[in-house]
Amino acid sequence: MLFDPLNLFVIGIGIALSLCASSITKSRFRKYSQYTTRSRMTGAQVAQGILDDNNIRDVRIERVGGELTDHYDPRTKTLRLSQSVHDSNSMAAFGVAAHEVGHAIQHAKSYAMLSFRSAWVPVANMGGGLSMFVIMLAFFLGGTQSATGASLAWLGVLLFGCTTVFTLVTLPVEFDASSRALKCLQKGNYVSEKELDGARKVLNAAALTYLAAFITSLITLLYWMFRLGLLGGRRD
Query: How do residues 31-48 score in pLDDT, each as one tens digit?
Result: 999 999 999 899 999 999
Question: Does the predicted model carry a pTM greater than 0.85?
Answer: yes
CB-CB contact of 157 with 230 (8 Å): yes
Query: Residue 12 is which amino acid?
Result: G
Angle between helices 91-108 and 147-187 (to 10 degrees): 110
Least confident of 56-65, 132-141, 159-168: 132-141
Poorest-pLDDT segment among 96-110, 145-159, 204-218: 145-159
Residues in the chain: 236
- What is the CB neighbour count within 10 angstroms for residue 181? 27
- Give residue 30's pLDDT band: very low, low, confident or very high (50, 70, 90): very high
The backbone region for 212, taken as left when phi is positive above 0, alpha when psi lies in -120 to 50, beta otherwise, is alpha
Cα 194 to Cα 196: distance, rounded to the nearest angstrom: 5
Q: Read off the pLDDT of residues 63-102 as tens digits, 9 standing for 90 and up.
A: 999 888 999 999 999 999 999 999 999 999 999 999 999 9
Give yes or no for a contact between 99 and 116, defined as CB atoms under 8 angstroms apart.
no
Q: How far apart are CA 129 and CA 125, in angstroms?
A: 6
Per the annotation, the verdict on 174 as an active-site residue is no
Q: How many whole angstroms separate alpha carbon 138 and alpha carbon 161? A: 16
- Report the relative pairing of strands 60-64 and 78-82 from DSSP bridges: parallel
Q: Which of 62, 100, 174, 193 is catalytic?
A: 100
